[in-house]
């Protein structure tokens, strides 16, 4: 394992969800506590940051959405978004390995000149992800199945990826499910970091945040229990294996 740790950035306002996210990341990647620095970016300013101190940077999902009007965002959400815009630009420019998940695709598209809006939002549940022809040459996605199931749930999506981005995964409801920018920066709209029970807890926590009607919760949980999303986890595993 690399002497440099990986940096996990999360913005969960709930302590239990934040810890659950960290534990799932360790479990799915095989990394140990000493291999990961966990930084909760909702808790305060996180820049400046020495990005070269890390083997790679992973940005997790979030209740934040970049496509909301600025006046509708809390001061914390605006600060996080502004700092991420700076950080992501630096990661891509300096070619520091980077993986952004769900909120990460919105924040990255915003930072690098893409378009994020509500055109291709997906309901909470599972979706079928399909690799594009460009995935055949991609260091992370080339080993994944041509189609696989993944967990999703997002109000916004990248309608247009940033200039120069290579779309490596798509789906019928959401054309941009994953893309690469430069040699070592990837983002996914789907959730490779979510295991079943983690997702179920997330569904319960988000019941009143507008992703679905509260009376739909039990039916959604029942439907996701039937999904096999293990191939989606390989995105995390391959990212860590590539740069550890």
Domains in the chain (CATH in brackets) are 6-243 (3.40.50.880)
How far is 131 from 147, CA to CA, in rounded Å? 6
Q: Return the biggest CA–CA distance within the chain.
A: 48
pLDDT of residue 153: 85
Which stretch of DSSP H or E encloses residue 26? helix 15-29
How far is 143 from 38, CA to CA, in rounded Å? 28
Strand 6-10 and strand 56-59: the pairing is parallel
Q: Which of 124, 89, 123, 120 is nearest to 107 (CA)?
A: 89
30 Ramachandran zone, left/alpha/beta (phi>0; psi -120 to 50) = left
- Nearest 10 degrees: Cα torsion 82, 188, 227, 17: -30
pTM over 0.85: yes
- Cβ(186)–Cβ(100) under 8 Å? yes
pLDDT of residue 214: 77
pLDDT of residue 220: 80
pLDDT in tens, the chain (244 residues): 458 999 999 998 888 888 988 999 999 999 999 999 999 999 999 999 999 999 999 999 888 999 999 999 999 999 999 999 999 999 999 999 999 999 999 999 999 999 999 999 988 888 999 999 999 999 999 999 999 999 998 889 999 999 999 999 999 999 999 999 999 999 999 999 988 888 887 777 766 666 777 788 888 888 788 889 999 999 999 999 999 9
- Cβ(42)–Cβ(223) under 8 Å? no
- Cβ(161)–Cβ(176) under 8 Å? yes
Locate the DSSP E strands across the chain.
6-10, 36-40, 56-59, 98-101, 115-117, 122-131, 147-154, 157-160, 166-170, 178-181, 185-188
């Amino acid at each position: 394992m690399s002497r440099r740790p990986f940096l996990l950035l999360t913005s969960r306002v709930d302590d239990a969800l934040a810890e659950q996210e960290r534990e799932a990341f360790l479990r799915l990647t095989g990394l140990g506590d000493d291999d990961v620095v966990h930084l909760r970016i909702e808790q305060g300013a996180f820049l400046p940051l020495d990005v070269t101190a890390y083997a790679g940077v992973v940005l997790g999902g979030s209740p934040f959405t970049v496509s909301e009007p600025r006046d509708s965002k809390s001061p914390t959400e605006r600060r996080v978004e502004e700092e991420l815009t700076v950080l992501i630009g630096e990661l891509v420019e300096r070619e520091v390995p980077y993986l952004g998940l769900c909120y990460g695709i919105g924040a990255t598209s915003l930072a690098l000149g893409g378009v994020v809006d509500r055109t291709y939002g997906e309901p909470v549940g599972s979706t079928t992800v399909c690799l594009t022809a460009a995935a055949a040459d991609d260091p992370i996605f080339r080993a994944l199945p041509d189609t696989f199931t993944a967990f999703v749930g997002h109000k916004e999506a990248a309608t247009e990826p940033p200039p120069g981005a290579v779309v490596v995964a798509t789906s019928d409801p959401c054309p941009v499910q994953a893309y690469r920018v430069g040699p070592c920066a990837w983002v996914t709209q789907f959730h490779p970091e979510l295991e079943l029970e983690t997702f179920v807890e997330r569904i319960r926590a988000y019941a009143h945040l507008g992703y679905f009607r509260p009376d739909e919760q039990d039916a959604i949980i029942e439907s996701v229990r039937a999904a096999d999303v293990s191939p989606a986890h390989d995105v995390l595993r391959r990212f860590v294996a590539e740069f550890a």
